[in-house]
């Protein structure tokens, strides 16, 4: 298990011989762990991976869409700190207007869970969900929705309408926005810039840089 940030401590004092407990690897920059262990604890509660970590996984999916000539939006579904579904836009590939990254990710997640209810799952998507996807997220009882860049024209998680938290519906999702916003926006801007250049007969030139940690 990778050690990220120590958020709490449980357990009994460590043996007098000292040393790091089994299963905890010391990493640079985690001085707080030294302090905790120094006070005699042998079990460290570690944070699960961050929102940025999972959004980078969604960006990897968006890169796949970009390479396939699809609008570069990617999504992942996380349950108990583990990715259970990955997907990217495949509207052109499948000739299906509903084949958005979120919709495909939900289908994969339902298969992984064995139920249509995803009440303990989080969805990470690089762009704010549209009304269709927002409606599906409410239907599957998604616990939390995290997106990168907003969609000022059709966003249904607060930009134009907030279907995810509509009081009249039987479920509302928690929302976190703006995670890796610049990276998520950049890949979309580059895609549509390239498309405009092709339509105008200009040589297509990509200006996008591969986001850090997406190797």
What residues are labeled active site?
A: 102
Nearest Cα to 176, choosing from 106, 131, 124?
124
Q: Quote the CA–CA distance of 15 and 41 in Å, as a whole number.
A: 9
Distance CA 101, CA 136 (A): 12
**Is the distance from CB of 63 to CB of 108 less than 8 angstroms?**
no
Cβ(9)–Cβ(36) below 8 Å:
yes
- CA quadruple 180, 186, 187, 192: dihedral, nearest 10: 150
Measured between alpha carbons, how far is 44 from 69 in angstroms, rounded to an integer?
45
Nearest-Å Rg of the Cα atoms of the chain is: 21
Using CA atoms, how far apart are residues 61 and 73, in angstroms rounded to an integer?
Answer: 7
> Looking at the DSSP assignment, which residues form a beta bridge with residue 43?
10
């Amino acid at each position: 298990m990778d050690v990220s940030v120590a958020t709490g401590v449980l357990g009994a004092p460590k043996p007098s011989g000292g040393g790091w407990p089994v299963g905890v690897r010391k990493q640079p920059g985690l001085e707080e762990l030294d302090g905790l262990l120094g006070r005699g604890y042998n079990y460290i509660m570690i944070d699960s991976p961050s929102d940025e970590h999972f959004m980078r996984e969604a960006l990897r999916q968006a890169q796949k869409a970009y390479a396939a000539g699809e609008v570069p939006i990617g999504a992942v579904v996380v349950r108990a700190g583990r990715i259970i579904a990955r997907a990217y836009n495949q509207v052109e590939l499948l000739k299906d207007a509903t084949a958005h990254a979120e919709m495909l990710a939900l289908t994969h997640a339902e298969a992984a869970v064995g139920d249509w209810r995803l009440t303990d799952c989080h969805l990470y998507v690089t762009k704010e969900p549209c009304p269709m996807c927002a409606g599906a997220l409410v239907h599957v009882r998604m616990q939390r929705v995290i997106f990168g860049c907003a969609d000022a024209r059709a966003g249904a998680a607060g930009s134009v309408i907030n279907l995810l938290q509509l009081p009249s519906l039987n479920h509302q999702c928690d929302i976190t926005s703006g995670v890796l916003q610049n990276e998520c926006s950049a890949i979309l801007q580059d895609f549509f810039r390239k498309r405009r250049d092709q339509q105008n007969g200009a040589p297509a030139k990509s200006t996008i840089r591969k986001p850090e940690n997406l190797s």
